[in-house]
Structure 1
Amino acid sequence: MSDVPSEAERLLTSEPVIAHLATCVDGRPHVAPVWYHYADGVVEFLTTGRKLENLRRNPRAALSIQKDEGGRTEWMVSIRGTATVIEDEAAIREAAARINPRYGASEDAWSENVLVRIDVGSASYETY
């Protein structure tokens, strides 16, 4: 059972908005946008490059997800957790089938990406 508030879970699964992933290596922050899928206390996304390198070195991560309309924030969810890099090809394909179509991309887009799962340690939300 997840410690994520049920209203935050509803917001996280309501529509395809962008999450901003924060990683940190050598005391320096790095923030980048990612498409995501949330279910049962786990956030999944597909990535490569600097984000992946950072998470391999330091699995602690944070996500900020926010929905705006006309420049006004409607809601936000903040998540902290621990990332696991999954390099299993079948798991990557399954995650791509969950994530990519939600954002209007084909399931096989960006096939070089690797799956990352973040187990949510804490979550908070706000609606406006």
Structure 2
Amino acid sequence: MSSRFPRTSPSVEIARKLRGELTPEERLLWACLRSKQLGVTFRRQEPMGRYVVDFVCYECGLVIELDGSQHLNSEEDKVRDADMRGHGFKTLRFWNSEVRGNLNGVLERIQRVLEARKNLKP
């Protein structure tokens, strides 16, 4: 659905480092997203332009970000989400506490968005 962003050297190096330092919530969600468990391929800690996103499904143009309290009302996140939209990606954001406390609800919401995005394909 969407094309890849250009990769920059700093973001590639940062992504490699982050893949080895997943948070507990990222590990938990990754265990459910990997190996096409939701019917599509996700990549984790993926460089996209000047950003590194937590998870991305290129097939459906979906970015998933897990946020801690430092992201509350973040202007940087709004700019980042707008940049993703400009490249055809929808961003879903979940609080870490949502992943810990309601993983099934998080997965259901991701699945609904994936289905809707698949239906947008020509």
Aligning the two structures, in what range does the TM-score lie when normalised by the shorter sequence?
under 0.3
Name the TM-score, length of structure 2 as normaliser: 0.27
Name the TM-score, length of structure 1 as normaliser: 0.26
| Structure number having the greater strand percentage | 1
| Structure number having the greater helix percentage | 2
